[in-house]
Structure 1
Amino acid sequence: MNIKLNVSTIKNVPLCTICVAPTAIIKDVKLEIAKTRKSLRIERQSLRSEIKGKDIDNNATLKSLGFENGSTIYVKDLGPQIGWRTVYLIEYLGPPIIYAIFACKPALFYNNPQNIPMSTAACIALICWTVHYVKRLYESAFVHRFSHDTMPLRNLFKNCGYYWFR
């Protein structure tokens, strides 16, 4: 027998009613909500058993959480999301490019119209900086496994600001 769940927003505005098996996991509930509300893809959803409660783990079953027929589950829209791999690639691409521009074309940024050649130390520093970030880009693209699929898009600007302008 299926459980009929009422889905409401955190502001207690009813969204829809869904039917799922008692053995269903929270990820299944998210999929059902996404079917009824196209704008709420599963990456954007945070499900809670109480309005001010904590997020429910995707692998928890409805039965283990005590949901019964007619129970209410609350969904919070997390907003636009971006994949973690993409975040790291964007973050780590900026520093070597910005450093190279400052190192190779200082006349663009400083009041010195002369084109002074880079010293050996500056050249070595540029190479080391670039190799360091290329290694990070490689690791982000091919080595790392991310525990979460996405993060809010608004955090990308804060993260890039930290890496690009420090």
Structure 2
Amino acid sequence: MSREVVKIGDKAPDFELQRLDGGFFRLYELLKEKNVVLYFYPKDSTADCTRQACEFRDHYDLFKELQAEVVCISSDKPDSHKRFERVYRLPFTLLSDTDAQIRNLYGVPRRFGIVPGRAIYVIDKTGNVQYVFNSLSKPAEHVQKVLDVLFDLNHETVANFA
């Protein structure tokens, strides 16, 4: 069951998925501490998905400095994620959404009706969506834009306390 596409300004739908270590990840638990970069991607170890994951990996220290955590979701099974994580030394959370329940919750479209889409959501600590990017092409291109959005979010927070 697909819902409306989640847009900028929307409250991010909360969800829970099992982590690779067997524990459970819950979005709103993480949002108590950090902003979240939630990205959906089609498939582990494919050229574009690997390029995107490595771009996030290569900038991961900046994400941490900007008080954000990267969380990646695809329909791949946990064993595939474990290999992907190990081979490319991915320091962030990979989650399996094998039945596309979370993808549908966010309204991430499929290309040609079958290929899982690629979408990025920047969610602030209050659970509000601050940025959305939705495209299967140019997967690494928007990491800098996501960093810019997080930089602006952090400076707004600092300004509000000044």
Q: TM-score, normalised by structure 2?
A: 0.23
Q: TM-score, normalised by structure 1?
A: 0.23
Higher relative contact order (CA closer than 8 Å, sequence separation 6+): 2
Greater strand proportion = 2
